[in-house]
Every structure is written in structure tokens, then in C-alpha cells.
């Protein structure tokens, strides 16, 4: 029985114009599909993402943000994307994911002139946190800076709504991770005390070699909040390790908890990546 409870699903509203830019630029850069090649970092899957986009189109139309004709165009774009990914092999999907991670790592080594940054020594211990970081954070970091610089020019009156959406998604994630860390820590402490009372040997596992250690330049408080979020869940996984090593929780239970976090992170990663590409078109035209 799981002691870590799941709260509501994080909603994502993908700007229709952003989705069109991604579709026209490269149909294979929308979102990865195969969990086996991403170590679970894209656990939500393309089909779920496209279905969400279809629902979002209805919401945008109801709020008067897009017309009936734009809804039809959006639906057609979604169907083209769905067919493209269905026709791709697992190896091709893996190549798409690998390219995005490679480019994300290159972005980490780039510097932007005139940008005020905060340097941080980042250490993520657990293996499944590394691909999550590489696939999404470099784009979220750059996107958050470009939103400050070019958000109004790119999104016009929708800039505030988009910023509010990012803030809501991140706030929900922070609340979720905070709860997971608090519950996992309390459960570990209670279990450890019980083991000692039973005079059983208590194993205390540690990660001797971190999955990721590097210096990163953080561009905005938004991207700093995301890093803090990743580090806090990495800490939560320390408690998961203790529970698994001492036979209190099964590895399958732990995998479920980690997979749940990866799924919850997926929407903000996708939205940030798509928004980054839209903003870069504005940057290049300036």
C-alpha cells in the first residue's frame, strides 16, 4: 500500500499559435513518446498530450480566444502530428529525444551577453533526474529570460495569461513535491524508529556518485524555482531508497511514485519547450 498520496492532475493549456509553430517547423520535435528510451522522463506519452491539446482548443474557443475555423485548423494539425509519431519507429523517437537532450546540454554551456545570472553548483544524485533535467530545464531557463525580454512582442495581450499559467503549473508542482518530501521523510523516520525498537539492523543507503554534477547559470527566479523543485524531489528519492533497502516499500511502489512525479512535470516541460521555440523566432527577427 502506498503511503505517498497523489493530488490532482496538473492541467496544461498549450497556446494554439505555439503549437502551429512547432508543427510547421518540425513535426518530430513536439514531444517524445517512448518511456524506455527516456528513463521515464516522458512518461505521459504523446497520445495523452495530443488529447489534451484537443481539449484545450475547445476551452480556448469557449473563452473567445480562437475562432471555430482556428479550432478546425488546430484539430487538423493535431491529427497530422499524431500520424507522424505513429509512423515513427522506436529508434526514430529515441533519436528525437536524444537530439533535444544534446542541444539542451549545449545550451547549458552557452552564455548570454548582458544577462544577470546566478551561478549554482547543481548536484542531482538519482539517475532518473538527469534526463528530466536535460530534456526540459535548459529550455525553461532560456524561455523564462526571453519571456521577460520578448514576451509582449511575441504573445501580445496573451503574455499575462501565459505567465499566469506557468506560475500556476509551477506552484502546483511545488505543493506536490513539498507534500511528497514531507510524507516520505515522516514515513522514513517512523519506520526507522520501529526497526530500532524491534532491534533490527537498519540500512542507510547513500548515493556515492551523483548522476549529475555541474555548474549552471540561472537566468530568472522562475528557473531557480524549478531547480529547487528538482533538488527537493531528488532529496525525496533519498527517503525512497531507505524504504526500499529496508524492505518497507517495494521497488515497484517506488517506481510508481517517481513515475507520477515525472508525469506531473511533463506538461510544464512541454509548454516551456514550445514557448521557447516561439520566442526564439522573435529573437531572431529583432
The predicted-structure confidence for 13-36, as pLDDT tens digits, reads as follows: 344 444 443 343 333 333 333 333
CA-to-CA separations, 93 to 24, 37, 89, 272, 276, in angstroms, rounded: 18, 8, 6, 20, 21
Q: What is residue 43's predicted lDDT score, i.e. its pLDDT?
A: 36
pLDDT higher than 70, residue 256? yes
- Note the pLDDT tens digit of each residue in 89-128: 777 767 777 888 888 899 999 888 889 999 999 999 999 9
pTM of the predicted protein model: 0.71
Please give the Cα distance from 65 to 52 (Å, whole number). Answer: 17
pLDDT band at 76, cuts 50/70/90?
low
Q: Where are the alpha helices (DSSP H) in the chain?
A: 16-25, 46-62, 68-87, 90-109, 129-155, 159-197, 221-245, 251-285
Could you tell me if 172 and 138 are in contact, meaning their C-beta atoms sit under 8 angstroms apart?
no
245 neighbors 205 (Cβ within 8 angstroms): yes
CA 138 vs. chain centroid, Å, equals 11
Please check the confidence at residue 286 and state whether its pLDDT lies above 50.
Answer: yes
Phi, psi for 9 (deg, rounded to 5): -75, 135
- Residue 217 has φ and ψ, to the nearest 5°, of -100, 120
Give the CA distances from residue 206 to residues 195, 237, 240, 281, in Å, rounded to whole numbers and listed in that order.
Answer: 19, 11, 11, 45
Q: Alpha-carbon distance 171 to 58, whole Å?
A: 25
Q: Which residues are CB-neighbours of 22 under 8 A, at least 6 positions away?
A: 29, 30, 274, 277
Amino acid at each position: 500500500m502506498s503511503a505517498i498520496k497523489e493530488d490532482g492532475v496538473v492541467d496544461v493549456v498549450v497556446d494554439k499559435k505555439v503549437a502551429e509553430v512547432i508543427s510547421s517547423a518540425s513535426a518530430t520535435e513536439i514531444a517524445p513518446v517512448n518511456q524506455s528510451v527516456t528513463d521515464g522522463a516522458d512518461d505521459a506519452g504523446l497520445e495523452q498530450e495530443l488529447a489534451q491539446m484537443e481539449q484545450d482548443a475547445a476551452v480556448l474557443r469557449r473563452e473567445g480566444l480562437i475562432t471555430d475555423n482556428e479550432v478546425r485548423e488546430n484539430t487538423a494539425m493535431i491529427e497530422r502530428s499524431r500520424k507522424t509519431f505513429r509512423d515513427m519507429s522506436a529508434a526514430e523517437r529515441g533519436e528525437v529525444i536524444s537530439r533535444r537532450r544534446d542541444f539542451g546540454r549545449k545550451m547549458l554551456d552557452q552564455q548570454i551577453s548582458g544577462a544577470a545570472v546566478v551561478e549554482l553548483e547543481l548536484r542531482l544524485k538519482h539517475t532518473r533526474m538527469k534526463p528530466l533535467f536535460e530534456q526540459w530545464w535548459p529550455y525553461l531557463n532560456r524561455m523564462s529570460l526571453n519571456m521577460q525580454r520578448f514576451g509582449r512582442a511575441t504573445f501580445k495581450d496573451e503574455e499575462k495569461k501565459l505567465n499566469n499559467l506557468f506560475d500556476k503549473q509551477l506552484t502546483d508542482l511545488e505543493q506536490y513535491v513539498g507534500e511528497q518530501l514531507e510524507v516520505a521523510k515522516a514515513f522514513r523516520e517512523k519506520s526507522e524508529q520501529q526497526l530500532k525498537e524491534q532491534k533490527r539492523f537498519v540500512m542507510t543507503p547513500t548515493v556515492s556518485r551523483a548522476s549529475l554534477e555541474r555548474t549552471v547559470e540561472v537566468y530568472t527566479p522562475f528557473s531557480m524555482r524549478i531547480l529547487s523543485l528538482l533538488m527537493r524531489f531528488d532529496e525525496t528519492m533519498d527517503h525512497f531508497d531507505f524504504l526500499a533497502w529496508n524492505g518497507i516499500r517495494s521497488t515497484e511502489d517506488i517506481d510508481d511514485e517517481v513515475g507520477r512525479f515525472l508525469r506531473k512535470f511533463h506538461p510544464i516541460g512541454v509548454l516551456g519547450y514550445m514557448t521557447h521555440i516561439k520566442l526564439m523566432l522573435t529573437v531572431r527577427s529583432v
